[in-house]
Structure 1
Amino acid sequence: MLTHAILERLPLLLAEGGFNVFDLNGAGNFLWTLIIFFLALPLMWKMVFGPITAALIERDSKASAAIHAAEAASEAAERSRAEVELALGNANAEAKKTIQAATSRAEARERDIIDTAKKEADAMVTQARSQIQAERDKALAEIRGEVVGLTMQAATQVLGRSVGSEDDRRLAQDIVGAN
């Protein structure tokens, strides 16, 4: 704004002859300021702006490198997470297979035990039935023998004579066995 005002008054000052280069209170001050600025500009550019620009460029490159490193770390973490999830899924599947295999083996073992127990129980029942039948047949044979003996004694007393021949005994056994 100040430069604009001075530039507007500059033609008036030059036309009137009132412009004094050494007058530091007016336009001369502005002129010397511009001359000093343009003379100092290369020096300032080299000594001030150059290092600041280099520092800013270096800071930007470090920030860029940090961003790239963070992105790479994020990608690596995502890959690791995916690998862990895959490994966890595989472990879960393996655990399910193991559990299913163990369950199948346990069920097969249970069926084998039940089948064996049924066979043993059937064998025991069959053996018990055989023993019962043998004991029954033995008891019936003893009872028949007793009946035959009693029949022979009764016949001896009723007839008043001795009934004890083999034929009589066989006849009594046939009669008792027929009933």
Structure 2
Amino acid sequence: MDILNTLGINFKSVIVQGVGFLILLFVLKKFLFGKISALMKERSEGIKSSYAKIEGDKSAVEKMKIDYQVKLAEVETAAAMKIQEAIDEGGKLGEGIVSRAQDEAELIRLKAQEGIEQERKKALTEIRNQVVSLSMLASSRIIQQSINQQTAETLVDDVIKDMEGLSVR
């Protein structure tokens, strides 16, 4: 105890201070540490739930991203199919237009051939009419001249030669 006195430490004061400290510790533990512990526990639970919610949201976002990519791939496939269908339909329409144009060209060609054939028949009819007119003219000349047989034959030969010049194809 001498050492404590030499150092200037009073034993009674140390005991009183120790008992005061224990009382203070008890009061703090009862009123303050319980509330602080509860607040820390509540905060820890809040952080854990926030972290769990963030993880859940993160997995939901990943799932939505995968779903979006799948839907995007489906939309791209559908768009490619529609484009191909449009190309095929355009090809079919083009073929139809070409076919109709060919049919119309063939119809025009046939009408032109019919027109040519009618003009040919008309020309033949006119040529026949001219031959008849020439024959009538030659006959009337023969009758008018009433010459001998040789002159009549010469006139007929001339008419035949004139008709050969009017050849019909």
Q: TM-score range by the shorter chain?
A: 0.7 to 0.9
Select 2:47's aligned residue among 63, 74, 77: 63
Seen in structure 2, the aligned counterparts of structure 1 residues 19 and 146 have a Cα distance that, compared at 3 Å, is closer
Equivalent in the alignment of 2:73 = 89
Deviation at 1:19, TM superposition (A): 5.0
Mind listing any 5+ residue stretches in structure 1 that lack a counterpart?
Answer: 1-9, 23-27, 162-167
- Number of residue equivalences: 154
Equivalent in the alignment of 1:25 = none
Instruction: Say which structure, 1 or 2, has more relative contact order (CA 8 Å, 6+ apart).
Output: 2
Provide the secondary structure at the position in 1 that maps to 2:34: helix
Mind listing any 5+ residue stretches in structure 2 that lack a counterpart?
Answer: 147-155
What TM-score results when the alignment is normalised by the length of structure 2? Answer: 0.72
Deviation at 1:113, TM superposition (A): 1.5
- Pairing 1:12–2:6 present: no
Seen in structure 2, the aligned counterparts of structure 1 residues 18 and 93 have a Cα distance that, compared at 3 Å, is closer
- Pairing 1:147–2:131 present: yes
* 8 Å contact kept, 1:144–1:177: no
Seen in structure 2, the aligned counterparts of structure 1 residues 155 and 177 have a Cα distance that, compared at 3 Å, is farther
Specify the code of the residue in structure 1 equivalent to 2:118: A
Per-residue deviation, residues 63-94 of structure 1 (Å, max 9, x unmatched): 11012112212221232233223223312321
Specify the code of the residue in structure 2 equivalent to 1:145: N
Partners of 1:126 and 1:11 lie apart in 2 by 146
Percent sequence identity is 25
What TM-score results when the alignment is normalised by the length of structure 1? Answer: 0.69
Equivalent in the alignment of 1:137 = 121
Deviation at 1:17, TM superposition (A): 9.8
CA root-mean-square deviation: 3.1
